[in-house]
């Protein structure tokens, strides 16, 4: 569902991504884990067709991110931590507005909003509130609902729990597993290892633009004597 092949991205002289390759299967949650500046956001932005790679290629749902960006966008949703939505609109109005971008309208759109709200446990009363009157966690749920309105096969979550309290974080982590159980494919990018330990099926450690480890969660845990953070530190030190 996601194929990344020798992907490279340079910002002028800075090589942010230095030839990374990985594959993510349908129904899988892949943890893209790395410290600040490792290249996680750059990788996800290339997959989301928001950035052009310098070389290498990537496919989402069988479509090439550089040559078939429209088809990629139809099959993909992306959420960053700290993404904002228009704060004077109600939650419902936000979703109604963005639904039109996906050719959704009328009863079909209404049904889709109800589907997303149920999956994310967004109550009716919250949908009627203006975004500015919502908690940060509720706002983030609206951002995620917006990203999945077109029921994308692939969902990219980039530090999606940043700034959330324990309740909102819990709801989001539960949602990640539920979305994967629908057969969807997710990349969960974070530097919070405990979250990755909870939701990911496989993990890739990225450091300074290179993928330095990839394995099933269980294998990664064994590498760190039962602890993903320890595995991560060990592998990054070995690769240094
Ligand atoms: N638009 C840009 N112009 C120049 N350099 C950039 C740009 N965006 C990112 N970089 C640099 O590319 C490298 C990778 O950044 P990226 O944001 O992909 O890392 P990250 O793993 O997502 O980090 P973080 O966890 O801090 O978000 C960093 O050195 C960053 O400073």
Contact between 135 and 26 (Cβ < 8 Å): no
Beta carbon of 204 within 6 Å of any ligand 1 atom: no
Nearest CA to ligand 1 atom 29: 37
Question: What is the bridge-based pairing of β-strands 55-60 and 202-207?
Answer: unpaired
Average pLDDT over residues 187-195: 94
Atom of ligand 1 nearest to the CA of 42: 18
Pick from 13, 42, 159 the residue to mutate for probing ligand 1's pocket: most ligand atoms within 8 Å of its CB.
Answer: 42
**Count of structural domains, the chain:** 2
Atom of ligand 1 nearest to the CA of 191: 25
31 HSE (CA, 13 A, CB side)? 30
Look at residue 105 in the predicted model and tell me its pLDDT: 87
The range of the structural domain enclosing residue 22 comes to: 1-75+156-239
Nearest CA to ligand 1 atom 5: 11
Average pLDDT over residues 157-180: 92
Q: Are residues 205 and 96 in the same domain?
A: no
Q: How far is the CA of 207 from the centre of ligand 1 (A)?
A: 12
Last residue of a domain, one of 98, 131, 151: 151
Q: How far is the CA of 166 from the centre of ligand 1 (A)?
A: 27
Kindly indicate whether the ipTM for this predicted assembly is greater than 0.90, answering yes or no: yes
Q: 80-110: per-residue pLDDT in tens?
A: 887 788 889 999 999 999 998 888 889 999 9
Beta carbon of 42 within 6 Å of any ligand 1 atom: yes
Q: Are residues 166 and 66 in the same domain?
A: yes
Sheet containing strand 55-60, edge to edge, reads 14-24, 2-11, 55-60, 63-64
Beta carbon of 11 within 6 Å of any ligand 1 atom: yes
Residue 232's CATH number: 3.40.50.300
Q: Are residues 66 and 115 in the same domain?
A: no
Last residue of a domain, one of 123, 151, 179: 151
State how far the Cα of 177 lies from the Cα of 199, in Å rounded to an integer. Answer: 6
Q: Are residues 49 and 168 in the same domain?
A: yes
Last residue of a domain, one of 101, 123, 151: 151
Q: Are residues 55 and 147 in the same domain?
A: no
Q: Are residues 119 and 208 in the same domain?
A: no
Look at residue 221 in the predicted model and tell me its pLDDT: 97
Is the predicted pLDDT of residue 177 greater than 80, yes or no? yes
Q: Are residues 167 and 228 in the same domain?
A: yes
Q: Are residues 160 and 177 in the same domain?
A: yes
- Phi, psi for residue 141 in degrees, rounded to 5: -65, -40
Helix ranges (DSSP H) in 187-239 = 193-199, 217-223, 228-239
Give the pLDDT band (50/70/90) at residue 231: very high
Q: Are residues 70 and 188 in the same domain?
A: yes
Q: Are residues 126 and 56 in the same domain?
A: no
């Amino acid at each position: 569902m996601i194929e990344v092949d020798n992907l490279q991205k340079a910002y002028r002289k800075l090589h942010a991504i230095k030839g990374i390759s990985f594959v993510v299967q349908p129904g899988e949650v892949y943890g893209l884990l790395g410290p600040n500046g490792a290249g996680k956001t750059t990788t996800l932005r290339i997959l989301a067709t928001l950035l052009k790679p310098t070389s290498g290629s990537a496919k989402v749902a069988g479509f090439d991110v550089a040559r078939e960006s429209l088809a990629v966008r139809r099959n993909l949703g992306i959420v960053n931590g700290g993404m904002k939505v228009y704060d004077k609109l109600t939650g419902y109005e936000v979703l109604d507005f963005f639904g039109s971008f996906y050719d959704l309208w009328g009863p079909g759109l209404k049904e889709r909003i109800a589907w997303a709200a149920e999956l994310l446990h967004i109550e009716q009363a919250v949908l009627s509130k203006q975004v500015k009157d919502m908690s940060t966690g509720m706002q983030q749920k609206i951002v995620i609902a917006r990203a999945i309105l077109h029921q994308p096969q692939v969902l990219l979550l980039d530090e999606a729990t940043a700034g959330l309290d324990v309740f909102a974080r819990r709801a989001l982590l539960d949602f990640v597993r539920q979305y994967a159980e629908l057969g969807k494919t997710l990349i969960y990018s974070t530097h919070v290892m405990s979250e990755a330990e909870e939701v990911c099926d496989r993990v890739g450690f990225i450091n300074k633009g290179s993928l330095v480890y990839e394995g099933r969660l269980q294998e990664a845990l064994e590498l760190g004597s039962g602890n993903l953070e320890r595995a991560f530190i060990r592998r990054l030190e070995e690769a240094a």
